[in-house]
Amino acid sequence: MPSIISISGVTKTYATGFKALKEINLDIERGEIFALLGPNGAGKTTLISIVCGIVNRSSGTVSVDGHDISRDYRAARSLIGLVPQELTIDAFESVWATVNYSRGLFGKPANHAFVEKVLRDLSLWDKKDAKAITLSGGMKRRLMIAKALSHEPRVLFLDEPTAGVDVELRQDMWAMVRRLREDGVTIILTTHYIEEAEAMADRVGVINRGEIVLVEDKVQLMRTLGRKRLLLELRSPLATSPRRCRATRWSFRRTVID
């Protein structure tokens, strides 16, 4: 499948001299679920903020479905939906008004049937007239996703989507992500949780200290992480391994400790 997002040589250095990203090269395939794992401060949010046009990169190029994010930023941005970590919603607007307003920001004509479908898919339809301030934390998170989907993007970024979310809502969100992928939406999510990547992702990337250290198919990565190895360091070398160990197919590294 051709890449829908292509990131080449992207760096980000702040005015303080801090290098948040160092030569990031990454291609996201069309229609996949890609999980970006890494600890706090690794550069996950900075990277997706650059792709979404929120943060300026220091160098490198980024294109979304062939549109350069600088030269053709309107076309690139219209293809992207972003659900940030922070809950950024108007507390005193209704759910219905919030989602329709977000759609209008992208110049999309009113489509009440589509907005209704989004709200129903996210179990928000019965809250459509409720003010955002009255919603629970989990419902506010769903509203953020509805806002991001309001203009029918082909790429959806979920930045720590299950942070502070209970187990039941987390399962619902995973199911929603799979449905979106079936509809052809490419999804990139950042997370701290390897089990979240295992449950949803097709491929997994690991970022640490501003560098991509690994990009691998989820199945292969889980197979690698699932292998266990016991390493014994001996005080003196053995001429042969004990018969009992030979029977269990253990392997020994001959190590001399002074």
Which pLDDT does position 90 carry in this prediction?
A: 81
Q: In what order do the strands lie in the sheet with 186-191?
A: 80-83, 155-159, 186-191, 33-37, 203-208, 211-217
Task: Give the separation between CA 52 and CA 153, rounded to whole angstroms.
Answer: 12
Q: List, in sequence order, every beta strand (DSSP E) within 65-210.
A: 67-68, 80-83, 155-159, 186-191, 203-208
The mean of the pLDDT values for the chain is 85
Place of tokens 């950024």: 88
Which pTM value belongs to this model? 0.80
Instruction: Give per-residue pLDDT as tens, 199-219.
Output: 888 999 999 999 999 898 888
Domain ranges of the chain: 3-229
Q: How much is the pLDDT for 252?
A: 45
Tell me the pLDDT tens digit for each residue of 29-79.
999 999 999 888 899 999 999 999 999 999 999 999 999 999 999 999 999
3-229 topology per CATH? Rossmann fold (3.40.50)
| 141 contacts 165 by C-beta, under 8 angstroms | yes
